[in-house]
């Protein structure tokens, strides 16, 4: 994996760090490929249950590397899109831990994650129009699904930033913390790791996909996905652990 992306793991959590602090973690082709490889690892390794995406040096991601753009470089991965995740996030939960700026492609990386924890000083925006560009890595499509449409429109057309508290009030992020966002993200990840892995994965899948399902097919499609969960060993273990007043021992099957 590229040194532009670092990984570490602990207690079922894979921490993926964009490591280009000298460029405010602007997204390069190598970094996008590194993130994509980390997401493949997250999904394929049964010992890993949750991912955290963050940035080195006090910034999450300042967007596309414009110097690379001028050289003709695209910081995307075929089949996964910008940053290796915006078109195809991992099947397992992914938390963004945001310090500093999450701007342009950086915001698009963030909103492709399932949950977001941010330091109180963080700033958010899609300022592409200020450079004659469009937030094409999901910003103008995905942001209106996550916050009120008129606010998303304002952000897209003015290119202005908002702070962490405002982002929290809009529902763009889950938690605002005074200390390191990564520490708080690990605490949130631990709460997910404590739960049944099959149930977590399918819950995410349904929440992500069901909005595109025809209304008259929703329950039938949901049943197809949840039926294997309800007859799994984990379902029996969860019920037994509750009855016996002990922590469950998940097998992921």
| Range with the largest mean pLDDT of 8-12, 64-68, 134-138 | 8-12
Q: Is residue 252 part of a domain?
A: no
Contact 110, 116 (CB under 8 A): yes
Q: Is residue 14 one of the residues assigned to a domain?
A: yes
For residues 117 and 214, membership in a common domain is answered with: no
Domain check: are 101 and 181 in the same one?
yes
Confirm whether 220 is domain-assigned. yes
Domain hosting residue 228, numbered range = 197-243
Set 128, 154, 209, 233: catalytic member: 128
Residue 207 lies in a domain: yes
Mean pLDDT of the 160-182 span: 96
| % the chain with pLDDT above 70 | 99
**What is the pLDDT, as a whole number, of residue 74?**
85
State how far the Cα of 29 lies from the Cα of 86, in Å rounded to an integer.
14
- State whether 38 and 154 are in the same domain: yes
Res 253 pLDDT > 90:
no
Q: Which two tokens stand for residue 18?
A: 């964009």
Question: Are 73 and 171 found together in one domain?
Answer: yes
Task: Kindly give, in sequence order, each residue whose CB lies less than 8 Å from that of residue 51, ignoring residues fewer than 6 positions away.
Answer: 13, 14, 15, 16, 38, 39, 42, 90, 92, 93, 94, 95
* pLDDT at residue 57 tops 80: yes
Q: How confident is the model at residue 2 (pLDDT cuts 50, 70, 90)?
A: low
Q: Is 5 helix (H, G, I), strand (E, B) or coil?
A: strand
- Position 146 confidence tier, pLDDT thresholds 50, 70, 90: very high
Same domain, 205 and 125: no
Q: Looking at residue 80, what is its pLDDT? A: 94
Residue 123 and residue 180 in one domain: yes
Domain identity same for 152 and 30: yes
Confidence band, pLDDT 50/70/90 cuts, at residue 134: confident
Residue 1 has pLDDT above 70, yes or no: no
Asked if residue 104 belongs to a domain, the reply is yes
Residue 71 and residue 133 in one domain: yes
- Our CA angle for 139, 14, 181, nearest 5°, is 60
Q: What is the pLDDT of residue 198?
A: 94
User: Which CATH number fits the domain that encloses residue 149?
Assistant: 3.90.226.10
Q: Is the pLDDT of residue 77 over 60?
A: yes
In terms of Cα–Cα distance, which of 176, 171, 65 is closest to 117?
176
206 and 158 together in one domain: no
Shared domain check, 222 and 167: no
**Contact status, residue 96 vs residue 110, Cβ threshold 8 Å:** yes
How many domains does the chain fold into?
2
Residue 144 and residue 228 in one domain: no
Is 128 tagged catalytic? yes
Question: Which of these is catalytic: 4, 33, 99, 108?
Answer: 108
Q: What is the CATH number of the domain that holds 229?
A: 1.10.12
User: Would 250 be classed as within a structural domain?
Assistant: no
Does the pLDDT at position 190 exceed 70? Answer: yes
* Active site (annotated) includes residue 149: no
Instruction: Tell me, yes or no, whether 51 lies in a domain.
Output: yes
Alpha-helix residue ranges (DSSP H) falling in 51-138:
66-70, 105-112
Whether 145 and 239 map to the same domain: the answer is no
Whole-model pTM over 0.75: yes
């Amino acid at each position: 994996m590229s040194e532009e992306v670092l990984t570490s793991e602990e207690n079922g959590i894979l921490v993926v760090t964009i490591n280009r602090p000298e460029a405010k973690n602007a997204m390069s082709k190598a970094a996008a490929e590194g993130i994509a490889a980390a997401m493949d690892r997250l999904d394929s390794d049964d010992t890993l249950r949750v991912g955290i995406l963050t940035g080195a040096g006090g910034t999450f991601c300042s967007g596309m590397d414009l110097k690379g753009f001028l050289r003709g470089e695209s910081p995307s991965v075929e089949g996964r899109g910008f940053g290796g995740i915006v078109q195809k996030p991992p099947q397992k939960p992914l938390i963004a831990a945001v310090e500093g700026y999450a701007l342009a492609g950086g915001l698009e990386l963030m909103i492709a994650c399932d949950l977001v924890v941010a330091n109180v000083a963080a700033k958010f925006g899609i300022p592409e129009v200020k450079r004659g560009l469009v937030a094409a890595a999901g910003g103008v499509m995905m942001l209106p699904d996550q916050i009120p449409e008129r606010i998303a429109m304002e952000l897209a057309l003015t290119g202005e930033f908002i702070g962490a508290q405002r982002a929290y009030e809009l529902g763009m992020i889950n938690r605002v913390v005074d200390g390191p966002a990564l520490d708080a993200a690990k605490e949130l990840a631990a709460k997910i790791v404590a739960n049944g892995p099959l149930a977590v994965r399918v819950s995410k899948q349904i929440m992500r996909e069901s909005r595109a399902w025809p209304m008259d097919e929703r329950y039938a499609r949901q049943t197809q996905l949840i039926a294997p969960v309800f007859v799994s060993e984990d379902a029996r273990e969860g019920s037994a652990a509750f009855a016996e007043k002990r922590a469950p021992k998940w097998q992921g099957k």
